[in-house]
Amino acid sequence: MHIAPFNNQNQPIVDVDNDRVPLNFFNIVKLRRGQHYSYQLSDYESCVVPATGRVLVKVENKEIAEVGLRTEDVWDGEPEGVYVPTDLSCTFECISETAEVFVAGAKYDETLAPFAVFADDIDMVQYGSDDTKTHRKIKHILGQKQHGQVGRLLVSELFTVGAGGWSGFPSHKHSEDRVGETKHDETYNFRFKPKDGGALQLLQRVDSEPGEAFHVVDGSTFLIDDGYHPCCVFPGCEMYYFTILGGATTRGLSPYFQPAYAGQLETIPGMKAMWSKFK
């Protein structure tokens, strides 16, 4: 499901118990210096990640950290974030001129401990190649390094290396819990350089039938509950997407690869190592 960019006025774009992706929560909060935003999610753990700007994050009125190193856009430095456990209140204050903040969540019914993720904690993996038009890097904010500290939430940022090409290959899905596959709802928020760039997000729900193509632009949000979902960015454009994954029964992601393309696990450089980080 494609949600075109709109002024959400700091209200959730993907609210709790969303009809399409009930395992996810997503909000974009925009603040000016000195402004605060508070929230509390009773059935969702979450992560506060500044897209730009810097914020002071408190959980249950206890200061956790100042996070956020980027000023111009998401390409301008490393990401940082704060993990906010289920059922605990969170307040963050803008301590830069402006801030745009992502709040990513996944359904989880236990309350863990809050913690900060700084630039040095980010787990970055680069994979693909120019020859296969799949050259990408992923920066894991809540990934394999945070195993045991988080319930069901995975948060990462994907960047193209260069312009154009494909992401989400080999074509895969994570629609049901079964041997070799896990049920994870997924939410993307896209950014492009230049800002008038774009991509085609594909969604094929039935293996033997044609799927759908959605024109995503800077600020688009895309929800994935089922089906294969590769993405093709336009030539001349760099692409970024903020990624939220929430598992139904487990945190670790096990995608099912479309049989016609599964062999690319062996031919696209670094592909197996890349998938191993979503645990």
Tens digit of each residue's pLDDT (9 = 90 or more) over 49-59: 999 999 999 99
State the amino acid at position 211 in one-letter form: G
Closest listed residue to residue 85, CA positions, set 124, 59, 123, 104: 59
Q: Report CA 20 to chain centroid distance, whole Å.
A: 16
Residue positions counted in the chain = 279
Does residue 273 have a pLDDT over 80?
Answer: no
pLDDT tens digits for range 101-118: 999 999 999 999 999 999
Per-residue model confidence (pLDDT) at position 275: 72
Widest CA span in the chain: 54
Three-class SS of residue 96? coil
Provide the number of structural domains found in the chain: 1
Q: Is residue 85 part of a domain?
A: yes
> Three-class SS of residue 277?
coil
At residue 65, the pLDDT reads 98
Q: Confidence class of residue 241 from pLDDT cuts 50, 70 and 90?
A: very high
- pLDDT, residue 269, reads 81
Calpha distance 133→148 (Å, rounded): 35
SS3 210: coil
Residue 201 lies in a domain: yes
Q: Is residue 1 part of a domain?
A: no
What is the edge-to-edge ordering of all strands in the sheet holding 153-160? 2-3, 221-224, 184-193, 238-247, 153-160, 136-142, 123-127
Which residues are bridge partners to 37 per DSSP? 92
Q: Please, what is the average pLDDT of the chain?
A: 94
- 143: DSSP letter: S
CATH of the domain at 123: 2.60.120.10
Question: What range does the domain containing 199 cover?
Answer: 7-276
- Give the mean model confidence (pLDDT) for residues 118-137: 89
pTM for the complete prediction? 0.96
| pLDDT level of residue 267 (50, 70, 90 thresholds) | confident
